[in-house]
Structure 1
Amino acid sequence: MPSHATSAPDFDLPTVRALEERAFNAWPARQTVFHQGWVFRLSGGFTKRANSVNALEPGMPFDGVREAAQTLYASHGLRPVFRISPLVSASAEQALQDAGYALFEPTWVMQAPLPESAPPQPSVEIAQAPTAEWLDGFAAANGVAAAHHATHHAMVQSIALPCAFATVRQHGHAVGFGLGVRERGAVGLFDIVVAPGHRGQGHGRALVQALMQWGQAGGAGSAYLQVRGENATARRLYAALGFTDTYRYHYRVPADPGSTP
């Protein structure tokens, strides 16, 4: 069976590493363990990004990493999830595949330059700190289970970098949410979401443009985001706003959810 490794030569690894580092900072895990050039992120099982094993540098050795991850995650009642970015060597991914780890959720990281001027977005409110309304609405629109709300809210509130908490309103009611995090000349856009029943009306575009404007006003020159490969609608929107594909990643998990090979 062929490998699905993402460490192809067309990816600029310094750019990948810089964006990976920014994304880790923008969406912090509740606990982190550093292990031989890898980072094990744990957040009680809420979101794969914050509960996954990630390479910190290109081509880090993989000897013993899978076993260490399985032991650590099992001790927290979690199954090990490996996030495979271009920093992961083909041999490391092949070892996971040979151990029965299945591939899922291919995702693109996209980037765009920030325009010097853009039309205002009067329907979008930008706050520098999350309100209770934003936290609850953001979680609900993203389908976060009530049992995970406390974890979700704590993770959002633990972001140390400058943030923008965006809300789009229709007839006075909050119908869409988005998060922007600015660091070192780039703004990351996370979880742009519009409530069901209000989609297809331009709210997502307004949220993205408002967060890009916020980033530009704070000195950023580019924006980045992560979008699942299967989300063709979102990819079309982002492409129309100037975003292009930079690199892709995916996850690998034990094929049998009840076991750790």
Structure 2
Amino acid sequence: MPSAALPLSAVDLLQVRALEERAFNAWPARQTVFHRGWIFRLAGGFTKRANSVNALEPGAPFEGVRETAEALYALQGLRPVFRISPLVSDSAQQALEDVGYTVFEPTCVMQARLTAGGLQSTSVEIAQTPTPEWLDGFAAANGVAEAHHATHHAMVQSIALPCAFATVRHQGRAVGFGLAVRERGAVGLFDIVVAPGHRGQGHGRALVQALMQWGRAGGAESAYLQVRGDNATARRLYAALGFADIYRYHYRVPADR
């Protein structure tokens, strides 16, 4: 069974729980159901993060959770997706594996301390609210289907915490986007994306640096982000900016769906 995390001796579960809470707040689902230490997130099928079953408490009991989740997601016309963080017990993972749930999309959560200097970037526009141009460009750059734009825009606009909406331009045209959400001394960076024809030119680095700077100016002491384990280019960039792995997670779905 693939590991969802670094060795438990290297993982502070209280830190994991705090980062998980922040990430849930930063990318809100349209509906949430709490169930015995678990949270079922629902957003009409748009994004796995907002349509998955997540542990809220370390080692939360799993008895009946799968059956309840499968019934709830079926009512919504969705397949059940379990997001496996270090808060999920080994026995819960084994129970899912035993009934044929398969692993996909291993992801790393990385964190960096924010320090003075080295974060300056003058080529990035930062707005406190999303403009229609930003919402459409951000969705398009992230490959969001037109049919999901309304849901995507509503989710972004429902974030209750302080936000930064970043744009980088080339010859006046927006070619890169990023979102940051600040809470309790940490700033989360989400969906840093640059249009394919403009990658490898430093735009991604400029976006990350600008959002880190914004977070620090607002009192954040650390930054965190999520990146797929197979995205070697992004991981190199983040490591160069001081980010290191804190923990990992993956998803599990029924094999026949």
Please state which band the TM-score falls in when normalised by the shorter chain: over 0.9
2:191 aligned partner: 191
1:175 aligned partner: 175
Q: Cα deviation per residue 1:218-247 (whole Å; 9 max; x = unaligned)?
A: 000000000000000000000000000000
C-alpha separation in 1, matches of 2:118 and 2:190: 20
C-alpha separation in 2, matches of 1:167 and 1:246: 28
1:34 aligned partner: 34
Residue correspondence of structure 1 range 44-83 to structure 2 within 5 A: 44-83=44-83
Alpha-carbon contact 1:51-1:81 (below 8 Å) kept: yes
Q: Cα deviation per residue 1:32-76 (whole Å; 9 max; x = unaligned)?
A: 000111000000000000000000010000000000000000000
C-alpha separation in 2, matches of 1:167 and 1:118: 20
3-state DSSP of counterpart to 2:41: strand
Q: Cα deviation per residue 1:60-95 (whole Å; 9 max; x = unaligned)?
A: 000000000000000000000000000000000000
What percent of counterpart residues are identical? 80
1:112 aligned partner: 112
The Cα of 1:196 is off from its aligned counterpart by 1.0
The Cα of 1:254 is off from its aligned counterpart by 0.5
The Cα of 1:119 is off from its aligned counterpart by 5.0
The Cα of 1:101 is off from its aligned counterpart by 0.3
Alpha-carbon contact 2:178-2:189 (below 8 Å) kept: yes
C-alpha separation in 1, matches of 2:25 and 2:170: 32
Alpha-carbon contact 1:111-1:225 (below 8 Å) kept: yes
Equivalent residue pairs, number: 256
3-state DSSP of counterpart to 2:198: coil
1:211 aligns with 2:211: yes
1:148 aligned partner: 148
Q: Which amino acid letter does the alignment assign opposite residue 112 of structure 1?
A: A
C-alpha separation in 1, matches of 2:11 and 2:228: 18
C-alpha separation in 2, matches of 1:119 and 1:95: 45
1:227 aligns with 2:227: yes
3-state DSSP of counterpart to 1:249: strand
Q: CA RMSD in A?
A: 1.0
The Cα of 1:5 is off from its aligned counterpart by 5.0
Alpha-carbon contact 2:4-2:249 (below 8 Å) kept: no
Q: Structure 1 regions of 5+ residues with no counterpart?
A: none
TM-score scaled by length of structure 1: 0.96
Q: Structure 2 regions of 5+ residues with no counterpart?
A: none
2:251 aligned partner: 251
